[in-house]
Amino acid sequence: ERTNFDPNKTLSGVDQILELVLVEKTHSLWGLQLIIAFLCLCYVIAALIYASSSCATVVKTLLNFTVLINFVIGTLFLITILYPTTLKDLYIPSFLLCWPARDAITTATIQLVQRQALRAPNTFRAKVVSLFIFLICFSFTWVCLLHHFMRIDLRLSLFDTYWFVMVTITTVGYGDIAPSHWTTKLLVTIFIVAGVAILIPQVEELYAAFVLQQRLNNSIDYTKSLKHIIVCSTHMKPLVLRDFLTEFFSDPWHYDVHVVVLVENDLPSNLKLYLSHPVWKRRITVLIGTPLHQADLARASAQTAIACFLHTTRNQADPDTADQHTIMSAWAIRDYAPQCKLYVQILRPKNKIFLEMADHVVCEGELKNALLAASSHCPGMATLVTLLLHTFKPEELKSVPQNDPNWKLYSECALCEVHECRLGDTSKYFHQFVGENFLNAAAIAYKIY
């Protein structure tokens, strides 16, 4: 605030520039700004060290908005140390640092809200938090900016500037405060256009997320005349759901059955687009929830469902952890709806003993072993099936029981596998392997080539 301001005095052009460039500061405030500048440069150095793998990555990091703002403001503050008597009062828009901090604050706030709500993240809640923090940063930026530029024609307090920003951005316009200088008028014009151009799309996205969330959180109340099943998964992949729906509705007896998809996380955009097709829109209802919560099972009307299908997530880094989650979900569904038929998919054969209460269990590992064993009887099929089962890993042999009949059959027949290729004498390198046993051909090829 200026203590020697005279509202009746008109400032000259040079005085107006000096009024905007130089702002009187105390030494304590200047010292605090230097500390902030040091922290900003530390962040920039840490980001550059993290991205020092290649020159292109360093340049891309420097052009990042967060790193660039921290670097510019931190450097300007440190320059004031060179001539402290003159540059100490240099005006530097440090309020712009609220934008680099916005992403971190938004992420932390969303995680806190989700933890308090004991629910998985959803689009609407995240957009509410993101829009709220954006409005705070947007309003704070323009309050600071207008408060500084109005120094040349008005003497406003921070609260009066805040009042002017709120009245302007909400298009109320009481007219009690009005800028008179052309620079301030131009800045207010930019503020109004930016507010309309940015906030309207944000509000539209929030409304669309609200409508979608209302549909996802609705309870399903089915009568006995309308049959339905429940499909549960931690991470529902589009291809998995597409294959399930195509297989399920290929049976004419399932045409009148409704499918309730219960997922823990919000669906990806490509899956939402797929389910919006008229073929599936009237047959499928998507709910955000988990089988571990009885309230979500009640919303899905699990007690009146014909069956419940539990899909696991394939190619997990830890298959045992995925199976544990599936087993706990299966027990929760069985406790809540004992009469509902339960179909469960797991990854490891050793975990089948925990699912004896399920009506049917499909074990991916057991299915692989069975296919490998059955294909060993037919020459040439074992290699084909092995290539099709591209997720099969040698480490999985350790989890196979010693008395597994499928694996025992495969180990006995795999050595007799014969690969036939019709190359004749036209092939310079491989004609010598025609009709050879696979093990002999492999050993000869490895020795020669």
pLDDT per position as a tens digit, 268-316? 777 777 777 777 778 888 888 888 888 888 888 888 889 999 988 776 7
Kindly state the DSSP code that residue 261 receives in the 8-state scheme. E
Q: Extract the tokens encoding 423.
A: 């190359």
Task: Provide the 8-state DSSP code for 11.
Answer: P
pLDDT tens readout for residues 128-165: 888 888 888 888 888 888 888 777 777 777 888 888 88
Residue 2 per-residue DSSP state: -
- List Cα–Cα distances, 404 to 149, 323, 408, in angstroms: 80, 20, 6
DSSP 85-139: HHHTTB---GGGGHHHHHHHHHHHHHHHHHHHHTS---HHHHHHHHHHHHHHHHH
Q: Is the dihedral of CA 128, 131, 133, 136 positive or negative?
A: negative
Condensed to tens digits (0 to 9), the pLDDT of residues 3-54 reads 444 444 555 556 667 766 777 777 788 788 788 888 888 888 887 787 766 6
Distance CA 90, CA 77 (A): 9
Does this model's pTM top 0.75? My answer is no
For 398-405, the CB contacts below 8 A with 24+ separation are 399/348, 399/349, 399/350, 399/365, 400/349, 400/365, 400/369, 401/349, 401/350, 404/349, 404/369, 405/373
The yes-or-no verdict on residue 409 having pLDDT over 50 is yes
For 52-68, what is each residue's pLDDT tens digit?
666 657 777 777 778 88
Those residues whose C-beta lies under 8 Å from the C-beta of residue 121, and which sit 6 or more positions away, are 110, 114, 265, 266
